[in-house]
């Protein structure tokens, strides 16, 4: 069998972690529709759900919180991140920081939940430490009295964040924690299938997430909205973009054939968290873009995806725009590590075939006869 380009429609694994029901516009984590969790469960509860398959009891949540608090600091205190140029892409800093931490912690062997906790707990610290250092500021240590989302914002600014910012970021982290067999998750599972360590698998996943077709879109959405500028400019700007075959950021998805359910939740959050002017710009852009995309490309069924309103929510909690992809990683590490753990149950090396379309039967000709000999 020859797979479609991009592996469209190919099932590469069985999983009980999460699934995207593209035709219905549903996302499920271990049986829970995402709407049952977003804004209700904390990110830490969802980590337990993804790693263990059930929502935690009070005792289990307390134990997980204790374990994560114990793992938030960097083994070298951030010394390795100090060596990076201030102009380093934050995703490169995250990749480097995770690789350093995994090596310094001695992570090796068969992946374990404790190793997943050790990595997930440090993601916010790595991003915040690098951001402080590139800004000419000293890193801020995490606080034991703050949860995962609150600590991330606190370590970035040194100010305990308001509750609405914590709730907004925590909901975002829950929504992005896993999403079926996406490119970065597949990358992590391929690496894990070789019986490499969990640190290597997560570093590989970060590399996949860095690509603008995967994790970089929310920042590009903000660039697009800024370029549009005002509600009056929505129609001429989008018309020009589509007429000149430019890509509209935040629309379309390889799996969803209707509105991304995460986008619907984030839209409602953005309505309350953004200024009225910004939300009017975003909603107007969404409405007209969908209208035009469906009119011009009716067979493609292009709708709003999670990146569109992720931009608005992350902007509303005060995150610098170039930290959006790394913040995606702060969330998705829960899913990546869950898939690595699942891959190792009855593991088989993921080793697909390829279709060779190159030449055959060529004969070697010595260099002298190819007319390429060096003239002495």
Rounded Cα gap, residues 234 and 245, in angstroms? 16
- Read off φ and ψ for residue 120, nearest 5 degrees: -60, -40
Residue 307 catalytic?
yes
Closest CA to 206 of 225, 183, 227: 183
**In sequence order, which residues have a C-beta less than 8 Å from that of residue 376 and are 6 or more positions away?**
none
Q: How many CB atoms lie within 10 A of CB 304?
A: 26
319 DSSP 8-state letter: -
Q: Which of 292, 307, 339, 342 is catalytic?
A: 307
Rounded Cα gap, residues 262 and 274, in angstroms? 17
Half-sphere exposure of residue 284, counting CA atoms within 13 Å on the CB side? Answer: 18
Q: How far is CA 367 from the centre of its chain?
A: 50
Rounded Cα gap, residues 54 and 344, in angstroms? 19
> What are the helix (H) ranges across the chain?
34-37, 43-52, 58-70, 79-82, 90-104, 113-134, 148-157, 163-175, 183-193, 198-209, 217-228, 234-243, 261-273, 276-296, 306-316, 324-343
Surface-to-core class of residue 365, CB atoms within 10 Å of its CB (0-12 exposed, 13-18 middle, 19+ buried)? exposed
Q: Which of 19, 148, 253, 339 is catalytic?
A: 253
The token duo for 128 is 């915040």
Residue 286 catalytic?
no
5 DSSP 8-state letter: G
**In sequence order, which residues have a C-beta less than 8 Å from that of residue 38 and are 6 or more positions away?**
171, 174, 175, 262, 265
Instruction: Just list the catalytic residues.
Output: 253, 307
């Amino acid at each position: 069998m020859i797979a479609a380009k991009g592996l469209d429609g190919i099932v590469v694994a069985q999983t009980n972690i999460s699934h995207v029901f593209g035709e219905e516009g549903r996302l499920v984590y271990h049986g829970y529709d995402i709407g049952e969790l977003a804004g209700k469960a904390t990110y830490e509860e969802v980590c337990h759900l993804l790693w263990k398959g059930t929502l935690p009891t009070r005792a289990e949540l307390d134990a997980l919180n204790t374990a994560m608090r114990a793992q938030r600091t960097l083994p070298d205190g951030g010394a390795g991140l100090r060596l990076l140029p201030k102009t380093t892409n934050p995703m490169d800093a995250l990749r480097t920081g995770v690789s350093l931490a995994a090596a310094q912690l001695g992570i090796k062997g068969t992946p374990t939940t404790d190793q997943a906790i050790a990595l997930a707990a440090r993601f916010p610290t790595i991003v915040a430490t690098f951001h402080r250092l590139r800004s000419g500021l000293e890193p801020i240590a995490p606080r034991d009295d703050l949860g995962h989302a609150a600590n991330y914002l606190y370590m970035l600014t040194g100010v305990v964040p308001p509750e609405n910012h914590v709730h907004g970021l925590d909901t975002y982290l829950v929504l992005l924690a896993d999403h079926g067999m996406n490119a970065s998750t597949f990358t992590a599972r391929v690496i894990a299938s070789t019986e490499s360590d969990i640190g290597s698998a997560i570093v590989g996943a970060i590399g996949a997430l860095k690509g603008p077709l995967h994790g970089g879109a929310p920042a590009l959405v903000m660039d697009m909205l800024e370029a549009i500028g005002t509600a009056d400019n929505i129609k001429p700007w989008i018309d020009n973009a589509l007429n000149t075959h430019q890509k509209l950021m935040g629309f379309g998805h390889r799996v969803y054939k209707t509105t991304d359910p995460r986008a619907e939740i984030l839209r409602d959050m953005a309505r309350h968290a953004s200024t009225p002017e910004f939300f009017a710009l975003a909603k107007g852009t969404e409405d007209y873009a969908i209208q035009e995309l469906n009119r011009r490309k009716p067979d493609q069924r292009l709708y709003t995806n999670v990146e569109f309103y992720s931009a608005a929510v992350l902007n509303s909690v005060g995150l610098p725009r170039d930290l959006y992809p790394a913040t995606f990683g702060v969330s998705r590490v829960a899913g990546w590590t869950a898939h690595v753990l699942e891959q190792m149950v009855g593991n088989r090396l993921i080793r697909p075939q390829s279709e060779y379309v190159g030449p055959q039967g060529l004969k070697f000709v010595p260099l002298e006869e190819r007319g390429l000999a060096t003239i002495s």
